[in-house]
Amino acid sequence: MTTPSTTSNTSTTSSSTAIALKPQKSSLSTLKGLLPFLAPYKREFLLAGIALLVAAGATLAIPYAFRQMIDLGFGNAGAVVAAGSKNIQNVDFYFLALFGVASILAIATAARFYMVSLLGERVTADIRSAVYRHVITQSPQFFETTQTGEVLSRLTADTTLIQAVVGTSISMALRNALLFVGGLGMLFVTSVKLTAIIVVLLAAVVLPIVFFGRRVRKLSRASQDRIADASAMAGEILNAMPTVQAFTHEAIEGRRFGASVEDAFDTAMQRIRTRTLMTVVAILLVFGAIVFVLWLGAHAVIQGTMSGGELGQFILYAVLVAGSIGALSEVLGEAQRAAGATERLLELLSAHSQVQSPAQPQPLPPRAAVGSALVLKDVSFHYPSRPLTESVSQLTLEIEPGETVAVVGPSGAGKTTLFQLLLRFYDPQQGQITLDGVDIKQLDLQTLRDAIGIVPQDTVIFSANALENIRYGRAGASDDEVIAAAKMAAAHEFIEQLPEGYQSFLGERGVRLSGGQRQRIAIARALLKNPPLLLLDEATSALDAESERLVQKALEAAMIGRTTVIIAHRLATVQRADRIIVMEDGQIVETGTHASLVALGGIYANLAALQFHTLPG
Ligand SMILES: Nc1ncnc2c1ncn2[C@@H]1O[C@H](COP(=O)(O)OP(=O)(O)OP(=O)(O)O)[C@@H](O)[C@H]1O
Ligand SMILES: [Mg+2]
């Protein structure tokens, strides 16, 4: 006559995981990190707690009501019985009372389930958003060391574990702790001698369960890790399908993934075998103990030292207590897994971006009609992962408002790195960068980046339509403004010819566009932003000569009223710049106009000779 969940607890005794032992306490305490996320929902927790108390009370009352029903209702020889009619009344009353208790139990249990599930979902949603919001403010350095797959798995798998704990385990733990304490108390009240015996027996039952439980827990962690490995591999390969197929690696990748999945399967099977054994052992032990005590009790009833109702009550309480022990051990196992998950999430939350807005940011001076002034003073920088090689070294450069500066130089010279420093994705180890006279470290990151429009070397297209992809440059822009920017970037014609024009979906990562089309979308996006400082990193490298001429013309129009820095390998693109800077090994090695550099007869002249078939000098 126990609640459905209690009966299932008895059976999960078998499948339960470890009981917390001292060395694991420390990991459980990481769950405290969840408190800030639970705090806003005090009211919901209170309601869940009340429902929990009522349900536990009702559960505990059932065996007592059961005994009253047997002893007073049926009135055997040993029981205290009144006259015949009183007997009938008793039966009616106690059956009614029993049903009343069951009704309370039903309502309270449902209320607890509702409140606690709601809390689980709510808290998980909050944690997901908080972690995501935090992660997307991290500097690129964070993403150099953390795989996106890792972040994703923490956001989904780890939060799901926490959801299980908040959503069910906390209430299971509380309920079963109440049932354990209450049930044990009631057992002592019923029969001290039998209780003493059953406590000893249950202790003997718990030990093997603890042993198996710890093993199951280790194995389940291992199998989760294997599954994560497999999905990380699949994620990377699915993102590179064309390359995989071009190199006909389908079979190899299939086998590699298969092996990884088999690995996960083997680990899971190990866990399942241990758990199977544990199920047999636990059920045998638990029921063996109960049957043994029942046998002792039956003797007591025959000898007249105990009533039949008392024995019935005792058995039910014993089942409750045994069930709660099983459930508690399982909950503790879950809690330990969740503690691991919490730790991983808190790690993400505590990741501190190297690049931060200052506490008291300075404003930029009002935007000048001609664009921004940019000064780099003795800037040296090495990537955190390459402490020995400077990618930019003692670079000093002054760019006037409205100037168009081209940066050329061999691959790996540090050109893109220069842009990364201007956007403050990294801070240089030495030197200073100022925008309109303000050190960029003194600017709010948003102020700084709002002032810069960039067309990156690797264009990024989002899985949205053309309109929205361009509007990414300025969230509030009207459709007309978007179309004007597209026209400027020579993107309007090809977008119009897409099946649904500006509404055409461009595919994940823009797979439905050619490389040059993607670039023109990226240029339109940067132009829409209308920034005082425009950075173009190989922005026209994927365009044919004709489109490049068109975009070039558009860009020249766009360069009016702003400062522009262009990185380009094709010198045709940079000829008309006010100034050309030649970089090599992170340093500026030559500066001048196209004509003066050709005349100089250095690196640039050589490049020009190669590209234009003219002789240097
Ligand atoms: N995130 C990074 N971590 C470590 N080293 C990096 C990183 N990004 C670039 N580098 C290194 O810094 C150097 C300069 O790279 P950068 O991307 O600035 O070259 P680039 O001049 O833009 O070359 P390209 O013309 O090929 O685009 C290279 O040696 C490169 O290997
Ligand atoms: Mg580059």
Q: How far is CA 122 from CA 98, 119, 164, 491, in A?
A: 36, 5, 12, 44
Taking CB atoms within 8 Å and a gap of at least 24, the contacts of 142-147 are: 142/351, 142/353, 144/383, 144/384, 144/385, 145/385, 146/351, 147/232
Q: Is there a single domain that holds both residue 432 and residue 319?
A: no
For ligand 2, the distance from its centroid to the CA atom of residue 537, given in whole angstroms, is: 7
CATH number where 510 lies: 3.40.50.300
The pick from 381, 415, 427 for probing ligand 1's pocket by mutation, whose C-beta has the most ligand atoms within 8 angstroms, reads 415
Q: Is there a single domain that holds both residue 550 and residue 562?
A: yes
Q: Is there a single domain that holds both residue 269 and residue 401?
A: no
User: Does residue 2 form part of some domain?
Assistant: no
Which of 469, 500, 530 represents a domain boundary (last residue)?
A: 530
Q: Are 552 and 573 in contact (CB under 8 A)?
A: yes
User: Does residue 1 form part of some domain?
Assistant: no
For ligand 2, the distance from its centroid to the CA atom of residue 536, given in whole angstroms, is: 10
Q: How far apart are CA 253 and CA 234, in angstroms?
A: 9
Q: Is there a single domain that holds both residue 410 and residue 541?
A: yes
Question: How much is the pLDDT for 322?
Answer: 78
Which segments of the chain have a pLDDT < 50? 1-26, 77-83, 616-617
Question: How much is the pLDDT for 27?
Answer: 60
Question: How much is the pLDDT for 262?
Answer: 92
Question: How much is the pLDDT for 12?
Answer: 33
Ligand nearest to the CA of 414: 1
For ligand 1, atom 16, the nearest C-alpha belongs to 414
User: Does residue 272 form part of some domain?
Assistant: yes
The pick from 145, 146, 391, 585 for probing ligand 1's pocket by mutation, whose C-beta has the most ligand atoms within 8 angstroms, reads 391
Could you report the per-residue pLDDT of 370-383, keeping only the tens digit for each?
A: 889 999 999 999 99
Q: At 4, list the tokens.
A: 């459905």
Q: End-to-end distance of the chain based on CA atoms, in angstroms?
A: 101
Sheet holding 404-408, edge to edge: 452-455, 533-537, 563-567, 404-408, 579-584, 587-592
Q: At 175, list the tokens.
A: 């309920």
The alpha carbon dihedral of 321, 290, 104, 310 has a sign of negative
Could you report the per-residue pLDDT of 283-335, keeping only the tens digit for each?
A: 788 778 878 888 888 888 898 888 888 888 888 888 888 788 778 877 777 77
CATH number where 43 lies: 1.20.1560.10
Q: Is there a single domain that holds both residue 178 and residue 47?
A: yes
User: Does residue 361 form part of some domain?
Assistant: no
Q: Is 394 exposed, middle or buried (0-12, 13-18, 19+ CB in 10 A)?
A: middle
User: Does residue 356 form part of some domain?
Assistant: no
The pick from 354, 416, 419, 422 for probing ligand 1's pocket by mutation, whose C-beta has the most ligand atoms within 8 angstroms, reads 416
Question: How much is the pLDDT for 31?
Answer: 79
User: Does residue 616 form part of some domain?
Assistant: yes
Question: How much is the pLDDT for 554?
Answer: 76
Q: Is there a single domain that holds both residue 539 and residue 526?
A: no
- In this structure, which residues have their CB less than 5 angstroms from ion ligand 2? 416, 457
CA torsion, ordered 48, 49, 50, 54, to nearest 10 deg: 100
User: Does residue 327 form part of some domain?
Assistant: yes
Domain around 491:
458-530
For ligand 1, atom 26, the nearest C-alpha belongs to 411
User: Does residue 357 form part of some domain?
Assistant: no
Q: How far apart are CA 383 and CA 141, in angstroms?
A: 8
For ligand 2, the distance from its centroid to the CA atom of residue 416, given in whole angstroms, is: 4
pTM: 0.74
Q: Is there a single domain that holds both residue 287 and residue 387?
A: no
In the chain, the number of structural domains is 3
Q: Which residues line ligand 1 (CB under 6 A)?
A: 144, 383, 385-386, 391, 411-417, 457
